[in-house]
Amino acid sequence: MRMSLAIVVATVALASVAARLDGAHAAVASATKVCTPQIKNGPKASYWSSVSGIKVKNGTTWTVLATGVDCGKAIGYSKTFLGMGSKKQGPWAKAKLGAPLPLKGFTCVKMIDASYDGMGKSSGGGLCHVGSTPGASPFSPDTFAFRDTGPYSVAQIKQFFHLS
């Protein structure tokens, strides 16, 4: 009897913790916005994200996700990284994989993904976090990411990541 009661108590405790964690994840995900408009005619990228499963070959349409960062600012910073409005390559195209990207008040990096064929490494975007520590994901608080999303529309991206 005591063993059964202990198992019930442990199960309820684990369910409670799981519900809190799931609620915390949902709160972060619901705070993430897909910024509009998408950035068209950006630099080409080919990659395969092992995290999201998104696979893009020679894409030139970029999407910005922001969690706790103003979308207008995140799009503006992303355009600068991509060299939009300039005849020169932006800092993102010039940076090595995993290298820092300069932005005052943020810690930004060129993301590392698998190459499109899965045989090497490539990058499909960048990730920036407010402050001096790197962001863990585009869904972390005070973070924005810019990703080449190729043919995917804003509606498809929202659906894919379960965002409203």
* pTM of model > 0.75: yes
pLDDT at position 12 is: 27
CA R_g for the chain: 19
Evaluate whether residue 18 is within a structural domain. Answer: no
Evaluate whether residue 110 is within a structural domain. Answer: yes
Sequence-ordered list of residues with C-beta below 8 angstroms from that of 29, at least 6 positions apart, any chain: 139, 161, 162, 163
Give 97-113 pLDDT, tens digit per residue.
999 999 999 999 999 99
**Strand order from edge to edge, sheet including 45-48:** 55-59, 45-48, 113-114, 121-122
Domain that holds residue 130: 33-161
- Report the alpha-carbon distance of residue 156 to residue 14 in Å, rounded: 34
Evaluate whether residue 157 is within a structural domain. Answer: yes
Evaluate whether residue 117 is within a structural domain. Answer: yes
Evaluate whether residue 20 is within a structural domain. Answer: no
Give 28-75 pLDDT, tens digit per residue.
456 999 999 999 999 999 999 887 888 999 999 999 999 999 999 999
Evaluate whether residue 48 is within a structural domain. Answer: yes
Number of domains in the chain: 1
Evaluate whether residue 138 is within a structural domain. Answer: yes
